[in-house]
Structure 1
């Protein structure tokens, strides 16, 4: 399988090499919640990492399922929820094969897509579509991480991998998803890159 292995991510957590972790929930998630655009529902958080978004959603009354590839991430998320007295389902699973027992009304996608090798993006996009109910929402932040090797030599560099917006339109096509009109919200990220935030609706 192309891309980072479970052991790669496990070691990043064990060595605390988690520069993507803000130490709190994403400001864009908070903005969506505080504007009431995102209402309590059954929601998945793939690539839940340190669990900040899982805990925030659980605190606000969502039925949350956090998913991650590594034991370190799921253990960290579970511990955060327990320490905060919050209830959430936390599952160690490969998002490319995971199947929920019940479909979700929403998915919060921030750090999973950009951590998966682009060779597997179409499989992951199909999974997200299958996980959602019809008219379900994909609240997504597309990582913008342009590197010289990619633009000048065509190299695939990451993680995090650059989620070019034109590539994202091919990955999440109009026949399957309703796209909002640009411009999209720019969210500054700790690693000096930024994300583009938008809501896609499953057809």
Structure 2
């Protein structure tokens, strides 16, 4: 999977490169999320990092694709903001140290196979302290039997986010849709607070 992201960030404009995500913008502009230390888990095109930095957050972006890190550096320089970019693998963290007050994940966890999701959670938990907020976007739907070989690592199952995170976080469902036609058939955004 890493080769795919190196190719997308290094040679093409990723189709998910749509600027800072709507829910993040709403939460910052409403004052529900205020400037603090923040980490973008799978920072990709760096849009969320740059938006947060422009609003006074002290931001770290982590991604396993070197092309994403290089793109992030270029975009942060162009936006005249400071972001600390670190190349690391969220399933085997070696270079990132927390804790952070805000964790943001837009589409990283749901891109992992279930055993990798377990490792992700073990690695991400130490990055949060009691009271840390975690904004998680994920595709979320039950794949049909014939989709499972292709889409089992593209979406969380309904209820999976709650099962994985409830022992450690208070969970608020923030936004989402289900039963959509085509793919993806559903998505959800959770705003969680570390217990």
Aligned to 2:134: 138
Aligned to 2:73: 78
Q: Secondary structure at the match of 2:103?
A: strand
Displacement of 1:156: 4.2
C-alpha distance in 2 between matches for 1:135 and 1:55: 23
C-alpha contact 1:179 1:199 (8 A) present in aligned 2: yes
Root-mean-square deviation (CA), in Å? 2.3
Aligned to 1:129: 125
Displacement of 1:171: 1.5
Structure 2 matches for 1:1-203, cutoff 5 A? Answer: 4=1, 6-16=2-12, 18-22=14-18, 24-98=19-93, 100-144=96-140, 150-153=143-146, 155-158=148-151, 161-172=154-165, 174-180=166-172, 184-186=174-176, 193=184, 194-203=186-195
Where do 5+ consecutive residues of structure 1 fail to align? none
C-alpha distance in 2 between matches for 1:33 and 1:104: 16
Displacement of 1:116: 1.9
Q: Secondary structure at the match of 1:90?
A: strand
C-alpha contact 1:139 1:200 (8 A) present in aligned 2: yes
Q: Secondary structure at the match of 1:66?
A: strand
Q: TM-score, normalised by structure 1?
A: 0.84
Q: TM-score, normalised by structure 2?
A: 0.87
C-alpha contact 2:111 2:155 (8 A) present in aligned 1: no
C-alpha contact 1:115 1:158 (8 A) present in aligned 2: no
C-alpha contact 2:39 2:100 (8 A) present in aligned 1: yes
C-alpha distance in 2 between matches for 1:159 and 1:54: 28
Question: Number of aligned pairs?
Answer: 190
User: Which one scores higher on RCO, CA 8 angstroms, separation ≥ 6?
Assistant: 1
Displacement of 1:44: 0.5
